[in-house]
Amino acid sequence: MKGDPMNPTTPMPATHSPATLYILLDAVRCWAAARRRRRPAMAQLHLRLRRYGCEQLSPALDSLLRLGEQVTGHGLRTGRGPRLSEDENLLIDLLQARWTGPVPYACSDAIACAFCYAVRSTQILLAQALEGRRGAASLSIRDANPRHC
């Protein structure tokens, strides 16, 4: 057997840079706005992440957010501007491996387990797509338009 999924060999992510957190938050809010407007959320997410050169995160982030809604039993709640919602804070804490307690869930154990794997997959992809390209022009937040979605 190649590796234990509960004890991965990939190191846990370090604290993400402010630019990475901004990109993540921008993408999450775009996804949530698309869902509220009954637009194709993954397509909107892909377009938003393409601005930063990390559209490959779209499927993983879409899956994580959809599973997150099933886990919490409600639609993703977002904040405005610099003010973060509880859901956004939880997501950031999970992705930075800062969450110390169990995640309360209102779903089956199988969905909760899938959510845990989605968190880990997204951590790895964030590290590969964003943190590895810290100095790249694609990480610029100057072109972000929060009213786009």
Beta bridge partners of 7: 4
- pLDDT score of 1 more than 50: no
pLDDT of the residue at 127: 84
Instruction: Say if 123 falls within a structural domain.
Output: yes
Instruction: Say if 6 falls within a structural domain.
Output: no
Instruction: Say if 41 falls within a structural domain.
Output: yes
User: Residue 125: which domain range?
Assistant: 18-134
Instruction: Say if 9 falls within a structural domain.
Output: no
- pLDDT score of 140 more than 50: no
Q: Confidence band (pLDDT; 50, 70, 90) for 14?
A: very low
Nearest to 71 by CA among 85, 54, 53, 91: 91
- pLDDT score of 15 more than 60: no
Domain count, the chain: 1
Instruction: Say if 101 falls within a structural domain.
Output: yes
Question: CA–CA separation, 93 vs 23, rounded Å?
Answer: 15
pLDDT of the residue at 25: 94
Helix (H) or strand (E) holding 65: helix 58-72
Nearest to 52 by CA among 143, 125, 148: 143
| pLDDT tens sequence across 23-69 | 999 999 999 999 999 999 999 999 999 998 889 999 999 999 999 99
Q: What's this model's pTM, rounded to 2 decimal places?
A: 0.78
Beta bridge partners of 138: none
Instruction: Say if 92 falls within a structural domain.
Output: yes
Beta bridge partners of 24: none
| pLDDT tens sequence across 92-112 | 989 888 877 777 788 999 999
Question: Which residues fall within 8 angstroms of residue 81, CB to CB, at 6 or more apart?
Answer: none
Instruction: Say if 148 falls within a structural domain.
Output: no
CA distance to 54, 67, 144, per residue, from 74 (Å): 28, 11, 28
